[in-house]
Amino acid sequence: MDLNNVTVHAKANVYFEGRVISHTVITSTGEHKTVGVILPGSYHFGTKQAERMELIVGEADVLLDGGDKANRHTASQPSSSFDVPANSGFTITVSGEPCHYICSFLAES
């Protein structure tokens, strides 16, 4: 996936002792996204705003808060993205190669 006509914040967002790193991207229409990489491990993220995570490279198991079963998401497959509600969270587990992603923050409806 290519992102054209964007502004990128050069300072990285670093989580979990550098095991998850992303950069903020702002599109020409003002939409905020993050583009990043998740190294192997298991990590929990909370959300304030609803978001859509799209895997670009790799695969991960994702358990949404309140769920009872993790789902496998694989880049380049129909299951490559998942939505997380606002004021919620998810646990993502990467066990193979690093997972690259784009996170889009969704407008509240």
Alpha-carbon distance 86 to 93, whole Å? 20
Q: Can you say how many angstroms the Cα of residue 61 is from the centroid of all Cα atoms in its chain?
A: 12
- Residue 19 maps to a domain: yes
- Residue 1 maps to a domain: no
Per-residue model confidence (pLDDT) at position 14: 97
pLDDT at 79 over 80: no
Tens of pLDDT along 22-65?
999 999 998 999 999 999 999 999 999 999 999 999 999 999 99
Q: How confident is the model at residue 67 (pLDDT cuts 50, 70, 90)?
A: very high
User: Could you tell me if 103 and 34 are in contact, meaning their C-beta atoms sit under 8 angstroms apart?
Assistant: yes
What domain count does the chain have? Answer: 1
Q: What is the CATH number of the domain that holds 70?
A: 2.60.120.10
- Residue 35 maps to a domain: yes
Alpha-carbon distance 28 to 5, whole Å? 6
Q: What average pLDDT does the segment 65-87 reach?
A: 91
Per-residue model confidence (pLDDT) at position 22: 97
| Domain, as residue range, for 30 | 6-105
Q: What is the mean pLDDT of the chain?
A: 93
Name the token pair of 70: 């993790």
- Residue 30 maps to a domain: yes
Q: How far is CA 66 from CA 59, 84, 87, 90, in A?
A: 22, 11, 12, 9
- Residue 80 maps to a domain: yes
